[in-house]
Amino acid sequence: MKKALALLMALALIFSLAACGVKTDTQKEKTSSETEETAAASGKSLVVYFSRTGEQDKVGVIEKGNTKIVAEMIAEKVGADTFEIVPKNDNYPMTFDALCDVAKEEQNNNARPEIKDIVKDFDSYDKIYLGYPIWWADLPMICYTFLESYDFDGKIIFPFCTHEGSADANTQKKIQVAVPKAPVNKVLAVRGQDAQNDKDSVKKQIEDWLN
Ligand SMILES: Cc1cc2nc3c(=O)[nH]c(=O)nc-3n(C[C@H](O)[C@H](O)[C@H](O)COP(=O)(O)O)c2cc1C
């Protein structure tokens, strides 16, 4: 009789805890795995990048842009889709000095060069990894075109750049000003020459940054 009473009391306790919204262990387990499933289902990632071939600082003439190399590594690591920002009218010179002049002029004019394509189904992405080379201690102006073309509400931005000395050039703040709606994380800043010549070290930098 005593045993039956104890069992009844234990059952009553479990039911009353559940009724108060306190999770039992079984419920907790179920809820946390459900959360992971939900996050995985809705947490699509997109790596967006701008990058140039041709003559670049410290690396000579390159066939694959420094930032593109890093973008592909990140996309592979996090399982993201990719989108390359390609200019609608690609008038960028293939020699370094001439490219520097055009980039400076765009910056002086606060230009917004047009982008060739649009991201399909941008709304379906939660995490946006944004990659760019540092141009005159800033993002290339076409990256501002990108940032101003989409609604970033509810998204998180993870910026990464390649450079040859300026590191991130304070671009985290510049992106945050351009996109006030979305939190902007710390910038991963990689040397362009490392992207070409020291891929193992870049992979390590990516891992550290992602962690
Ligand atoms: C127009 C232009 C301006 C640049 N300005 C800077 C700069 O201010 N600071 C810096 O560290 N590197 C600068 N660089 C070097 C690039 O950031 C670096 O080479 C980068 O890795 C190029 O990436 P990409 O191959 O993806 O285009 C500049 C390069 C160009 C072409």
Which pLDDT tens digit goes with each residue over 46-78? Answer: 999 999 999 999 999 999 999 999 999 999 999
Pocket test for ligand 1, best of 56, 190, 194 (most atoms within 8 A of CB): 56
Q: What angle do CA 98, 142, 190 make, to 5 degrees?
A: 80
Q: Is residue 9's pLDDT more than 70?
A: no
Q: Is residue 87's pLDDT more than 50?
A: yes
Residues 120 and 35 in one domain: no
CA distance linking residue 103 with residue 106, whole number of Å: 5
pLDDT band at 35 (very low <50, low <70, confident <90, very high): very low
Contact yes or no for 17/24 (Cβ under 8 A): yes
CA distance linking residue 42 with residue 146, whole number of Å: 23
Residues 104 and 203 in one domain: yes
Residues 105 and 24 in one domain: no
Residues 34 and 47 in one domain: no
Nearest CA to ligand 1 atom 16: 163
Residues 99 and 187 in one domain: yes
pLDDT band at 16 (very low <50, low <70, confident <90, very high): very low
Q: Is 205 in the pocket of ligand 1 (CB under 6 A)?
A: no
Residues 166 and 95 in one domain: yes
CATH of the domain at 123: 3.40.50.360
Q: Is residue 28's pLDDT more than 50?
A: no
Residues 36 and 47 in one domain: no
Write out the residue range of the structural domain in which residue 31 sits: 1-42
Q: Which of 25-39, 68-82, 173-187 has the lowest mean pLDDT?
A: 25-39
Residues 65 and 134 in one domain: yes
Nearest CA to ligand 1 atom 1: 100
